[in-house]
Every structure is written in C-alpha cells, then in structure tokens.
Amino acid sequence: MSVTALRRAARETLSGLPREFWWLWTSTLVNRLGGFVATFMALYLTLDRGYSASYAGLVASLHGLGGVVSSLGGGVMADRIGRRPTLLLSQIATAVSVAVLGFVTDPVAIAGVAFVVGAASNASRPAVQAMMADIVRPEDRVRAFSLNYWAINLGFAVSSMAAGFIAEVSYRAGFLLEAGMTFVCAVVIFLKLPESRPERESKAVREEPVGLGSVVRDLRFMSVVGLSFLVALVFQQGSVGLPVAMGAAGFTPADYGLAIAVNGVLIVVLQIPVTRFIEHRDPRRLLVISSVLAGYGFGLTAFAGSVGVFALTVCVWTLAEIVNAPTQTGLVVALSPTQGRGRYQGMYTLSWAVASLVAPVMSGFVIDRFGAEWLWGMCAVVGTVAGAGYAVLMRRLGAEEPFADGGERAGDERTAAVRTGTGT
C-alpha cells in the first residue's frame, strides 16, 4: 500500500467524529497511560511489602470485586445524575484512593483501599460508553468504539513498559503518577466535555424510567450479557491461564512476557485497519466468527511447545479480540433504550467484571486437577457455544433489527415495553 493510500485510509478513519469524542478519547488514553496499580499490584505487595502470594491474590480479588459492585452503580449514576458528573466523581475518587494506596501499610487497610480503587476506576466505564453512544452518529459508532479500544491498548502497552522502570526506582512514585494522571483526566472532562445525557422528551418517558429491573427483564439483552460473559471467560485466559500454563511447562516469566506482548502490539498496529475492513460488514456474522476464533485460538495453545508457537496462538485470538470488542459494544448500544444507556452499559460491564473473578479460579482448578490441555479444550468449547448462541440470537433479532440504523429506532420503539422498572 502506498503512502498516499495510507494517508487516505487514516484520514477516512479519523474524520467525521465530533470534537467531544476526541476529548473523551484523550481522557481514555491519558488514563491508561497512567495505569500502574492493576499491572504491578502483585509485585508491589510481594516484593516491596513482603506479603505472601496468597495475600496478593486476595487483594487482586478484592480489587476485581470492587469493579463488580460499581459496574451497575456506575450505570445507574450515568443515567440518573448524568455522564459528566459520574465521570468526574469516579476519576477524582480513583485519583484519591490510588494515592492513598501508595501510603497505607496495614494489610487490612491495603485490602480495603484496593477494593475502593477497583470500584472507583470501574464506575466510569458505563458512563464513557454511554457518552460515546450519545455523541457519535449511529453509523460511526463501531469505528468510534474501535478507536477508543485502540487508545486503551496503546496506553496500556506504554504504561506497562514505563511502570517497569518506575518500579525500579519507587513503587510509591508509580501510585502518585497514576493518581496525578487520573486527576488530569478529571480536569479534561470538567473543562472540555459537556453533559450528553439525552433529555426525556415526553411525559410517558418521565413516568416510566428505565430501572435495573427493566434491564434484567429485557431477555434478549440479557442473552447478550450471558454470551459476553462466555467470551470474556475465554479472553481472560490470556492473563490468568496462559502464564500459569507456561510456567508449569517450564517457561520463564520473560517467555510469557514475550508471547503476550504480541497481543498489545497487534492491537495497536491492526485495530484501525481491521476496523476499516469490518466497519460495513454484517455484525451478526462478525460476532459469531470472532467468538469461535477466540475459542479455537486458545484451544490451539494445547499444541504449543515453544515461545514462537505460543505467540502464534496469541495472534489468532488477538484478531478475534480486535473484531469482537467494537462489534460487541455496538450491539449493546443498539439494544439499549436511549434513556437507559448507562444502566445497560453497566450490566454489560458487569459481565466482564464477573468473568475477571471467575476466570482465575476456573483456570487454576482445571490446570491443577486435569492439566492445561483440558483448559484449552474448554476454551474451544466455550467459544463454540458462544458463537452458536450469537447465531441463534441474531436470527431472532431479524434481518433489519437492530443494526440497520444503529439501534436508535429499535430502542425507541420498544421503550414502553422495556421501561417497566422503578428507576433504580
């Protein structure tokens, strides 16, 4: 491809999105560039503080549990008080709690603050996704979600490398740096992002707000949440099952780092061109293919005997991740009533948060009792089940709904049927 063609492709990918989206994108990138706690928490507790691996695992679980609790709470806040206030509160709370975590020394206090950090940081995710859906045109949403996902991974890749050097000097400096950059995100949101929550236009809508009960009773959306949980279980194995299996097979942490680095590099390099390729293709088929590809990508790990082969399997499921992430998020928006986007995004976020709690337990149990080959075989089965589930669900949604217009018409036409909750 010529330089001119590359420039044209980049221009077409980046053009047409509102200014507010790019400020939101910038806050996401800055936030991820400052990421330190989640990456190096275990090393900080075991090497710097001298705690046991079991205690470090407990703290990591509490951090994840905080995310589970705040997934729904953040979604409710985004719908009730607005996207912008929710983002401000969550970012400021994250900055303060991360800074505190760098100074507390009591084991109970560390565990408690880690829970708060997990809750505060995860509370912003439903608001970010809802705001993005509010400000971006339906036909541009897959592209916008893809660019946001690209920013997340670019920030994570850079911060992971930088955090390693920072940890050599001072773990506390890393905590303070993350707190500072998170506070910068709050400032960006305060100065540059207006509130985007859609106004309720009719009395009927005001009398029948979307509650969490409404979301739970929306069976087709909860089917998506269930399928998302299965896919998330598979993808989580890249950070929980893969390192354990490689370690048990005699590979070093450096070997795992080399293999998993392929994931971040490919996402940074391929996310935008792959998005251009899939942007106008059938999302139904993309979800089926990406789910199956993820399952069998991890399934192929059972045959890996060298770092190079492990890296090749990472390439397979990374491609599935690149396709699945923006398409899945687009489906969630398409099935969400306009006034309930925060709660719907919160429920979707919950599926990933719960998977992050279940996956470590599941992978450890399977590897210890049956061996890593069984874990990779299970991934292939789960991916196949998820793909079949998406195929059935999409057939029931019909040929025109909900992707034909980004879900706006479908979501609004069924407002009365969905909004039967109490506004919780």
CA nearest 286: which of 231, 211, 216, 226? 231
Number of domains in the chain: 2
Question: In this structure, is residue 103 part of a structural domain?
Answer: yes
Distance CA 329, CA 224 (A): 10
Q: Say if residue 413's pLDDT is above 50.
A: no
Identify whether residues 164 and 251 lie together within a single domain.
no
Identify whether residues 246 and 107 lie together within a single domain.
no
Burial 275-297 (b: 16+ CB within 10 A, else e): beebbeeebbebbbbbbbbbbbb
Question: In this structure, is residue 159 part of a structural domain?
Answer: yes
Question: What pLDDT sits at residue 382?
Answer: 96
Residue type present at position 337 = P
Identify whether residues 361 and 330 lie together within a single domain.
yes
Q: Decide: 346 and 72 in contact? Cβ < 8 Å.
A: yes
Identify whether residues 186 and 223 lie together within a single domain.
no
Q: Say if residue 302's pLDDT is above 50.
A: yes
Question: In this structure, is residue 3 part of a structural domain?
Answer: no
Identify whether residues 156 and 268 lie together within a single domain.
no
Residue 279: DSSP 8-state = T
CA nearest 339: which of 243, 412, 393, 281? 412
Question: In this structure, is residue 8 part of a structural domain?
Answer: no
Residue type present at position 39 = T
Identify whether residues 259 and 397 lie together within a single domain.
yes
Res. 133 pLDDT band, cuts 50 70 90: confident
Question: In this structure, is residue 4 part of a structural domain?
Answer: no
Question: In this structure, is residue 6 part of a structural domain?
Answer: no
| Mean pLDDT confidence for 326-344 | 82
Lowest mean pLDDT among 48-52, 316-320, 343-347, 414-418: 414-418
Greater model confidence, 163 or 208 = 163
Distance of CA 335 to the CA centre of its chain: 18
Task: Quote the domain boundaries for residue 131.
Answer: 18-197
C-alpha pair distances (Å), 298 with each of 143, 232, 241, 349: 26, 12, 10, 23
Q: Which of 163, 197, 231 is the last residue of a domain?
A: 197
Identify whether residues 236 and 168 lie together within a single domain.
no
Q: What is the dihedral of CA 28, 340, 133, 329, to 10 degrees?
A: 80
Distance CA 123, CA 312 (A): 35
Residue type present at position 2 = S
Distance CA 322, CA 318 (A): 6
Q: Which of 197, 230, 254 is the last residue of a domain?
A: 197
Identify whether residues 185 and 245 lie together within a single domain.
no
Identify whether residues 255 and 337 lie together within a single domain.
yes
Task: Provide the CATH number for the domain around residue 34.
Answer: 1.20.1250.20
Question: What pLDDT sits at residue 297?
Answer: 95
Q: Say if residue 248's pLDDT is above 70.
A: yes
Q: Which of 174, 197, 220 is the last residue of a domain?
A: 197
Looking only at Cα atoms, what is the longest distance across the chain?
65
Identify whether residues 366 and 220 lie together within a single domain.
yes
Question: In this structure, is residue 9 part of a structural domain?
Answer: no
Greater model confidence, 114 or 64 = 114
Res. 398 pLDDT band, cuts 50 70 90: low
DSSP state letters, 319-369: HHHHHHHHHHHHHHHHTS-GGGHHHHHHHHHHHHHHHHHHHHHHHHHHHHH
Identify whether residues 159 and 286 lie together within a single domain.
no
Identify whether residues 237 and 364 lie together within a single domain.
yes
Question: In this structure, is residue 298 part of a structural domain?
Answer: yes
